[in-house]
Amino acid sequence: MKLFQIDAPWCGHCKSLAPEYAKAAGLLREEGSEIRLAKVDATVQSELGERFKVKGYPTLKFFIDGTPLEYGGGRTSDEIVQWLKKKSGPAAVTLTTVEELTKFQNDNEVAVLGLFDVCYD
């Protein structure tokens, strides 16, 4: 999984995003995440901008197994990391103890909990 920032060196918005993007990459690396962040200079790699229909800078594209997704998150490092975790994490997590539930609640600002009877035949 990779997130690409497609930008141009003359772009003011790209320059503003650069430190937050770098910080997000560092946070993911510290956590041991397999997600990698990269930058592409669209003035040098113009065929990529054309291929992925980039209309403005910076454009962020998230790739999972080679399939691009439009980035729809914020522009701070925390917002970038949070969006990536939502897109790359499991759809559901099984919690079997009160301790796991407490940690899950503390780690997530918003959570949805489903309770299910488990039948072992």
Question: Residue ranges of the domains in the chain?
Answer: 2-89
Neighbouring C-beta atoms of residue 21, cutoff 10 Å: 23
Cis peptide before 9 (omega within 30 of 0): no
Contact by Cβ (8 Å): 30, 90: no
Beta-bridge partners for 64:
67
Catalytic residue among 12, 32, 89, 114: 12
Indicate if 119 belongs to the active site.
no
The CA distances from residue 35 to 4, 15, 29, 32, 101, in Å, are: 11, 22, 8, 9, 26
* 72 among known catalytic residues: no
Q: List the pLDDT tens digit at each of the 121 positions of the chain.
A: 899 999 999 999 999 999 999 999 999 999 999 999 999 999 999 998 899 889 999 999 999 998 999 999 999 999 999 999 989 887 788 888 999 999 988 888 888 888 888 776 6
**pTM of this prediction?**
0.76
Architecture of domain 2-89: 3-Layer(aba) Sandwich (3.40)
